[in-house]
Amino acid sequence: MDDLDRKLNDNFAGYVVRKDLVKLVKGNAAVPSYVLEYLLGQNCATDDEEEIQEGVERVRDILAAHYVQRAEAGAIRSDIKQSGFQRIIDKVSVELVEKRDAYEATFENLGVSHVLVTADTVKKNRRLLVSGVWCIADLSYSANEAKDESPYILKMLKPIQMARFDLDDYVERRKAFTSSEWIDALIRSIGLDPAQLGERAKLFQLTRLIPYCERNYNLVELGPKGTGKSHVFSEFSPHGILISGGEVTPAKLFVNNSTGKIGLVGYWDCVAFDEFAGKNKRPKPDIVDILKNYMANKSFSRGIEQVTAEASLAFVGNTSHDVSYMINQTDLFEDLPAVYHDSAFIDRIHAYIPGWEVDIIRGDMFSSDYGFIVDYLAEALRSLRALDYSGLYRERFELSDDLSTRDRDGVLKTYSGLMKIIFPGKDATAEEEARILEFAMELRKRVKDQLYRIDETFARTHFRFRQKGGAWRDVTTLEEVNFPRIYHSRDKVPLDEEEGCLAAAPAASTLVHEASAGEVESTPSQEPAPAEPEPMQTNEAPASSEPFIGHREYRENQRGVSYERLFGPYLEGVRKVEIIDPYIRKFYQCRNLMELLEVILSHFDYSAPEVSVHLTTVRDDDFADSKQDDYLQQVADAMNPLGLSFTYDYDETRTIHDRKMVINDTWEILLGRGLDIWQYFDAGNAFAVETNVPEVRKVKEFGITYLRK
């Protein structure tokens, strides 16, 4: 157990479970994760390993004895007849049969229908009336001669979810965690290892949860296959439903006018449309019109009556092209069916998660640590739906006045949702709140920028905010950063003079403040100034008469960065380099060092004496089988014959924290996070472009400062 494991068990005893246990008990049981975690929470909510193993065995026994496999349904029905009683776990749906004036249940896997259900049971669990709910049920058997009555009698029906939840208690317990600890706990609860994700990637994962805690929230995520887009909507909460195939009738989604029966949006907190993209799909236009009205007005027509509902909508699907193609040739909504590729529909979307920034799920990305029982977290999010956090920003910040009403709604709904998820106690610092506000504005701006490409009638608005009394801060999407020359090339709405200047800049890829020589001042609240050449052009250093002096910030998932671009201009005439980085320990970190030395070697004048490079780092004592010495010696052996003398030593006090590089006693470069700037890529794959072309890699968020000594 690590510190966060212990903290979760201390503060949320009984509400956390080890996430790898789900895989241990699932086997071939096709049940959602929240069902399994409900059972694990009842039997394994402890940090005692012996009790955990006993609990796992109990859950396995419960599933073996009570979960209904479709292939064994006939045998189970026979068992109920022979024994007269059986407890089962199955998905149950209920229908009102007016002719009999009775509610009848259908057990999906068991293959049994027309089972009478009391009105009181339905009243307590209204979602039984729509698409079914996973339940634990006791069935008995009593033969009868009536053709339209089932011989099965329902003795007990209990939906698999928490019976009670105390929001005030949840908020109070949250106070024991820092914001980064809490975010990591939430990521673990989803089932992922936070150590494998950057801060921006974590926010994308948490944004997927907003439909569960924010009413009438409209979310889109389009991206490559295998990024887990639908997982949260199918496995996470008993309060959401995933519609496979992306197509649904108005009667099923809103209301059946012939029966008056309310559809999915009347019963579920979140309705998600899987496989929503696909140009060849031909949904009926009437569903689009009703959907647009509901997304805008939170209501739909039921004959002559207007019905209000609170369900949030999530649309997820795969893209057929990469982002560079979409930016250069079409738009980010190009894969939607034609009837949805409509500016009126798109304008009602509050946020667009760029799926191409979300990592494809790998086996090592799953968490084996403690996280919340998903049913507990789902109840927390459901309780937060009744609250409104959208106005909290006004205490510290203000948004640009020319944001349209829908832009402002989209921004504030995303902001409100993330604040509920991360800061339910409303205790975010100004810096933390600014980060969430900026992120929310980017997700909406991605939608608005596509509207400029699709419909020339939209007016330009400025996505900017500021802390009260401070300077305005412009918000840009990462696509705008990575492709500054082509991002606005297909816009039908003309750029205004200010945006035109920004778009024409050769390098809007970093937030930079250029200070005078010898002065360094990082000002994230300032407007972005051009600094770097457009990404993914060449591996050459930026053409400049004088190396840049000052501070630069790079955003997570940004591309177009390499050690050559970062350090090349400062290495001309290099003779001596000193590197201080406490984290040159693991293989990939030593590989980064090797890559830097190759850049230094490329600037070495072979007609002169050798160049010397010395590394000061910290010994890796965390692992008994550490190969740190072996790796560093291999680096030295490879470089020394080529005229680069590489040496290293360890700071035995383990007190160094600053990361920097000193070149020829002339340049001092402060490395915010050292050489560890790359996100995960498969360096062992000879066919991975990222291995030999650093510019196509995604970076972690980092800053770098250049000083002339």
For residue 27, give the H/E element and its range: none
Q: How many helices (H) and strands (E) does the chain have?
A: 24, 27
Per-residue three-class SS string for 422-476: HCCCCCCCHHHHHHHHHHHHHHHHHHHHHHHHHCCCCCCCCCEEEECCCCCEECC
Contact in structure between 588 and 683 (CB atoms under 8 Å): yes
Contact in structure between 245 and 217 (CB atoms under 8 Å): no
Q: Return d(Cα 231, Cα 149) in angstroms, integer.
A: 38
Q: What proportion of the chain, given as a percentage, has pLDDT over 90?
A: 60
The predicted structure's pLDDT at residue 388: 96
Identity of residue 384: L
User: 107-152: per-residue pLDDT in tens?
Assistant: 999 999 999 999 998 888 887 887 678 899 999 998 877 667 789 9
CA-wise closest residue to 635 among 596, 681, 676, 685: 596
In DSSP notation, 572-584 reads TT--EEEEE-S--
Find the DSSP H helices in 67-117: 73-83
Pairing outcome for strands 255-256 and 644-650: unpaired
Q: What is the CA 473 to chain-centroid distance, rounded? A: 24
Cα–Cα distance list, 632 to 508, 562, 694 (Å): 37, 22, 22
For residue 180, give the H/E element and its range: helix 179-190
Identity of residue 375: D
Residues 6+ apart with CB under 8 A from 639: 597, 601, 613, 645, 646
For residue 167, give the H/E element and its range: helix 167-174
- Give strand ranges (E) for 611-695: 611-617, 644-650, 660-663, 667-671
Identity of residue 642: L
Q: What is the CA 300 to chain-centroid distance, rounded? A: 31
For residue 327, give the H/E element and its range: helix 323-329
Pairing outcome for strands 312-318 and 218-223: parallel
Q: What domains lie within the chain, and their CATH numbers? A: 70-159 (2.40.50), 382-506 (no CATH), 550-708 (3.30.870.30)
Q: What is the CA 156 to chain-centroid distance, rounded? A: 38
Identity of residue 312: S
Averaged pLDDT in 10-residue chunks for the chain of 709 residues: 92 90 78 83 80 88 88 91 90 89 92 91 83 87 78 89 85 97 96 93 97 97 93 87 80 82 89 89 82 91 81 95 93 93 96 94 89 92 95 96 95 98 97 97 98 94 94 95 92 78 43 36 37 38 69 93 95 93 93 95 79 94 80 94 93 85 95 92 85 92 94
Q: Which residue has the tokens 């390993």?
A: 49
Half-sphere exposure (Cβ direction) of 273: Cα atoms closer than 13 Å: 26
The predicted structure's pLDDT at residue 411: 98
Q: What are phi and psi of 514, to 5 degrees?
A: -90, 115
Q: Which residue has the tokens 């049971």?
A: 121
Question: Which tokens in the block code for residue 447?
Answer: 């939608």
Identity of residue 54: E
Residues 6+ apart with CB under 8 A from 100: 148
The predicted structure's pLDDT at residue 189: 94
Contact in structure between 195 and 329 (CB atoms under 8 Å): no
List beta partners, residue 371.
17
Contact in structure between 136 and 10 (CB atoms under 8 Å): no
Per-residue three-class SS string for 277-296: CCCCCCCCHHHHHHHHHHHH
Cα–Cα distance list, 378 to 93, 165, 209, 335, 566 (Å): 21, 10, 9, 31, 44
CA angle, 584 then 585 then 586, to 5°: 115
Contact in structure between 187 and 205 (CB atoms under 8 Å): yes
User: 409-431: per-residue pLDDT in tens?
Assistant: 999 999 999 999 999 999 999 99
